[in-house]
Structure 1
Amino acid sequence: MAEQHGKALVPQIRFAGFTDPWEQRKLGELFEEHSEKDRDDLPALTIIQGGGTVHRDESKRNLQFDRSSLSNYKVVDTGDFIVHLRSFEGGLEKATCYGLVSPAYHIFRGKNVDSDFYYLYFRSKRFIDVDLKPHVYGIRDGRSIDIEGMKTIFIPWTNLAEQRQIGAFFDRLNSLITLHQRKCDKLCVLKKSMLDKMFPKGGSLYPEIRFAGFTDPWEQRKLGELFEEHSEKDRDDLPALTIIQGGGTVHRDESKRNLQFDRSSLSNYKVVDTGDFIVHLRSFEGGLEKATCYGLVSPAYHIFRGKNVDSDFYYLYFRSKRFIDVDLKPHVYGIRDGRSIDIEGMKTIFIPWTNLAEQRQIGAFFDRLNSLITLHQRK
């Protein structure tokens, strides 16, 4: 939003054609409180914080309300702003459909303003934590907003054309974010379904879905037959690594965690290579982690290196709910954060095995799927 530069109030970035300084105007000058009632012919609405309004009959919340009291409910139109019961922490909500809301809410309708533009501001950290905060009274969940005080808040104003340009820009941006979130959600559902169907279950030795050309039954083999513990040390020339649960390994010097360690003790650290599996301090709840770079990890960890297996394939299994909650659980001892894994016991766990070619196909498929999920998350 706009900042003070000299005496003029102007944003750092603007659309072409807009040069006039912005102004600060009282909220009550730009929005008027609206309290129309006696319209029980309209649908009752539910407020979704950060998501507008939806018809109560279509809401997943299954909220109960007395239909005979609808005549006391307040009318909101698309673009109206609603001061609801959690506005002190989430800002004002914008109505996205026409209907009725609780009489406990306050409705504000703009006077020749763009609602998309002001929705950005009314949900901003600046509005909630700086502008609105002095007009919030009460404690904890009993907090309320002094509506008359709120009307005196000075908020940014620019001409309607610039408001509309800014509002439309962020509306398109939000649509893109929603699109990528939906794609990401669909891919996550697909991944869960395929994981369930591409590994045998219920005692079967055949997965429900397989790539063409693979017909042999799968086997159950002991973890210790397919992976051997590896404990190479005395390589203090290698970089120290940090484990990111669900994200592999990164160089400690590049980690955002800013972890401190004694470089003189690196000779005691264990060597891991790309594709090795690491039993770390939280493996009892998150499964085994896979090294994604070459370096050193804490001597407290256990390193397992595969014998002619595909690490992408087994990473899926070693982080699965089945492995953590069923296979590994009997070999976890201790309580709460003091839990540890009996490594010798873990080596006796029977895990699925198929030929290397099928392992690689499955591993590569999920690797591509994970890359797509990550792509949409980043976008």
Structure 2
Amino acid sequence: MKDEKKAPKLRFKGFTDDWEQCKLGDVFSFLKNSTLSRSELNYESGKFKYIHYGDILTKFGDITDTRNFSVPFVTTPEKVIRLEKYFLQNGDVVIADTAEDSMVGKVTEIQNPDPFPTVSGLHTIPIRPNKEFAAGFLGHYMNAPFYHDQLFKLMQGVKVLSLSKSAVIQTKINSPSYCEQRLISRMINLIDGTITLHEEKKRQLERLKSALLQKMFADKSGYPPVRFEGFSDKWEQVKYGEIFQRRSKMGVSTPTLPSVEYDDINPGMGTLNKEPKSKGISKRGIYFNPGDVLFGKLRPYLKNWLFACFEGVAVGDFWVLTSSKIDHGFTYSLIQTPGFQYIANLSSGSKMPRSDWGLVSNARTFIPINHLEQERISSVLFGLDHAITLYEHKLEILNKIKSFLLQNMFI
């Protein structure tokens, strides 16, 4: 039986050879890095590009194509020209050696550093392989658990963690044949590409929703800039307190009357992150009906809102809003508009700000007189919410697939 330490659990058909193990210091050379600050970079133009450690930690994936607009230019080229012989090449790996958490040690593999020569920046360790690896393999491998877990015992610091070259040089690199490396890299690249595509589609839908929340609601003239065909009446000006009623009846959650708390809601998405009936503890809160709107008044900038599709109790600092004058769906849409968000965030308190109902209820807004127009608007926005949630769900599945592959295709 093959020793599991010499071969991964999951392999492509036809590969049975043991993986080769060596110390990082035996197959990589260390390069010099630059020490420019973020203020010396820009995203518009320049002769050189710069790999910032913060971008490795937060923006860059396993592989970074330096032609991408997300890689900044150097504003002060005279400070990097002296590093000419250390300009990054295809296949070089840049390690972020400083972070506030265990993300320290995250890497990105460089691809296409032309036509802009690229340097590795402050708080990074740039390394160059002395033998050929398949494109993308090192980026995926060194971010996978089997390699990154080696770094935990090498990290230094308390509030800010760091890695030294002398520590990194002792880590072990395991690699299969070039052909198997290439297949592994292609597989994970395919997953990454699909993730990127879905992230972009989700961002586009979010931008569209944000635009419609501004354009489909009336401005000071009483008319919305974007409108459905067949509607031309001026919208009616009202106070929020005239169209919204706050429920105050209290209730206690039961197995059939679930509770909703702040942490149960995905901020800004209006979805729940757990099954509400799965809780086993009874809690007291404000009773809500299907069609009511839960608005989190504590730290309103968190955008903790929910359109209720079931009966339950809202536990914590919620307003439970209902209306007898406007469509329930339109109520939910209205509380997401910039106008309502602005007044709701004129809150009292600094550490624990809360929306002020006195301010909100007396603020004015416009609503369509025709209920059909209200329904049409809320229908479009609900449709966008559904599409955004669908992409979010797809991304969760894709990231789980990638995590599984990183756990099982490497050693």
Q: Pick the TM interval, shorter chain.
A: 0.7 to 0.9
Equivalent-residue separation in structure 2 for 1:297 and 1:20 (angstroms): 58
Structure 1 residue 340, shift from structure 2 partner: 5.5
Change in Cα spacing, 1:13 to 1:72, as seen in structure 2 (3 Å) is: closer
The 8 Å contact of residues 105 and 163 in structure 2, kept in 1 or not, is answered as no
The 8 Å contact of residues 300 and 355 in structure 2, kept in 1 or not, is answered as yes
Q: Residue 271 of structure 1 aligns to a residue in which SS?
A: strand
Given candidates 254, 259, 284, the residue that maps to 2:278 is 254
Aligned residue identity for 1:296? V
Larger-Rg structure: 1
Equivalent-residue separation in structure 2 for 1:183 and 1:131 (angstroms): 36
Counterpart check, 1:277 vs 2:293: yes
Deviations 1:7-33 (A, max 9, x none): 663322222222233342222344345
Deviates more, 1:302-311 or 1:171-180: 302-311
The 8 Å contact of residues 97 and 105 in structure 2, kept in 1 or not, is answered as no
Q: TM-score scaled to structure 2, two decimals? A: 0.73
- Give the structure 2 partner of residue 31 of structure 1: 28
Structure 1: which 5+ residue stretches go unaligned?
36-41
- Give the structure 1 partner of residue 402 of structure 2: none
Given candidates 131, 143, 146, the residue that maps to 2:150 is 131
Aligned residue identity for 1:54? T
Structure 1 residue 54, shift from structure 2 partner: 2.6
Equivalent-residue separation in structure 1 for 2:294 and 2:21 (angstroms): 57
Change in Cα spacing, 1:150 to 1:302, as seen in structure 2 (3 Å) is: closer
The 8 Å contact of residues 32 and 111 in structure 1, kept in 2 or not, is answered as no
The 8 Å contact of residues 136 and 146 in structure 1, kept in 2 or not, is answered as no
Deviations 1:44-66 (A, max 9, x none): 3311412525369x667453324
Aligned residue identity for 2:189? D
5 Å matches for 1:357-368? Answer: 357-368=372-383
Deviations 1:212-266 (A, max 9, x none): 11111111123333233434456866413214254256754436xxxx85x3x75
Equivalent-residue separation in structure 2 for 1:71 and 1:122 (angstroms): 29
Change in Cα spacing, 1:376 to 1:357, as seen in structure 2 (3 Å) is: same
- Give the structure 1 partner of residue 104 of structure 2: 89
The 8 Å contact of residues 236 and 366 in structure 2, kept in 1 or not, is answered as yes
Q: Residue 24 of structure 1 aligns to a residue in which SS?
A: strand
- Give the structure 1 partner of residue 392 of structure 2: 377
Q: Residue 336 of structure 1 aligns to a residue in which SS?
A: coil
Aligned residues: 355
**Larger RCO: 1 or 2 (CA < 8 Å, sep 6+):** 2
Aligned residue identity for 2:366? P
Equivalent-residue separation in structure 2 for 1:374 and 1:357 (angstroms): 25
Structure 1 residue 184, shift from structure 2 partner: 1.4
Change in Cα spacing, 1:197 to 1:67, as seen in structure 2 (3 Å) is: same
- Give the structure 2 partner of residue 315 of structure 1: 332
Equivalent-residue separation in structure 2 for 1:28 and 1:134 (angstroms): 18
The 8 Å contact of residues 45 and 55 in structure 1, kept in 2 or not, is answered as no
Change in Cα spacing, 1:122 to 1:43, as seen in structure 2 (3 Å) is: farther
Structure 1 residue 162, shift from structure 2 partner: 1.4
Structure 1 residue 120, shift from structure 2 partner: 1.2
Aligned residue identity for 2:110? A
Counterpart check, 1:206 vs 2:230: no
Equivalent-residue separation in structure 2 for 1:126 and 1:100 (angstroms): 29
Structure 1 residue 365, shift from structure 2 partner: 0.7
- Give the structure 2 partner of residue 113 of structure 1: 133
Structure 1 residue 119, shift from structure 2 partner: 1.0
The 8 Å contact of residues 94 and 120 in structure 2, kept in 1 or not, is answered as no
Equivalent-residue separation in structure 2 for 1:329 and 1:116 (angstroms): 46
Structure 2: which 5+ residue stretches go unaligned?
33-45, 395-411
Given candidates 165, 172, 180, the residue that maps to 1:146 is 165
The 8 Å contact of residues 248 and 286 in structure 2, kept in 1 or not, is answered as yes
Q: TM-score scaled to structure 1, two decimals? A: 0.78
Equivalent-residue separation in structure 1 for 2:190 and 2:300 (angstroms): 43
Deviations 1:155-174 (A, max 9, x none): 22212221111111001111
The 8 Å contact of residues 240 and 360 in structure 2, kept in 1 or not, is answered as yes
Q: Residue 14 of structure 2 aligns to a residue in which SS?
A: coil
Change in Cα spacing, 1:140 to 1:101, as seen in structure 2 (3 Å) is: farther
- Give the structure 1 partner of residue 409 of structure 2: none
Structure 1 residue 358, shift from structure 2 partner: 0.6
- Give the structure 2 partner of residue 39 of structure 1: none
The 8 Å contact of residues 295 and 318 in structure 2, kept in 1 or not, is answered as yes
- Give the structure 1 partner of residue 367 of structure 2: 353
Counterpart check, 1:181 vs 2:199: yes
The 8 Å contact of residues 22 and 157 in structure 1, kept in 2 or not, is answered as yes
Aligned residue identity for 1:67? E
Equivalent-residue separation in structure 2 for 1:290 and 1:363 (angstroms): 12
Deviations 1:53-83 (A, max 9, x none): 5369x66745332437514331322122234
Counterpart check, 1:192 vs 2:210: yes
Structure 1 residue 90, shift from structure 2 partner: 3.8
Structure 1 residue 283, shift from structure 2 partner: 6.5
Structure 1 residue 297, shift from structure 2 partner: 2.7
Aligned residue identity for 2:187? F
Q: Residue 351 of structure 1 aligns to a residue in which SS?
A: strand
Aligned residue identity for 2:151? L
Structure 1 residue 303, shift from structure 2 partner: 2.9
When the two chains are superposed, the root-mean-square deviation of aligned CA atoms in Å is 3.6
Change in Cα spacing, 1:283 to 1:240, as seen in structure 2 (3 Å) is: farther
Percent of aligned pairs sharing the same letter? 24
Equivalent-residue separation in structure 1 for 2:319 and 2:170 (angstroms): 62
Q: Residue 379 of structure 2 aligns to a residue in which SS?
A: helix
The 8 Å contact of residues 31 and 128 in structure 2, kept in 1 or not, is answered as yes
Equivalent-residue separation in structure 2 for 1:34 and 1:236 (angstroms): 61
5 Å matches for 1:46-65? Answer: 46-47=50-51, 48-49=55-56, 50-51=60-61, 52=64, 54=66, 61=72, 63-65=74-76
Aligned residue identity for 1:64? T
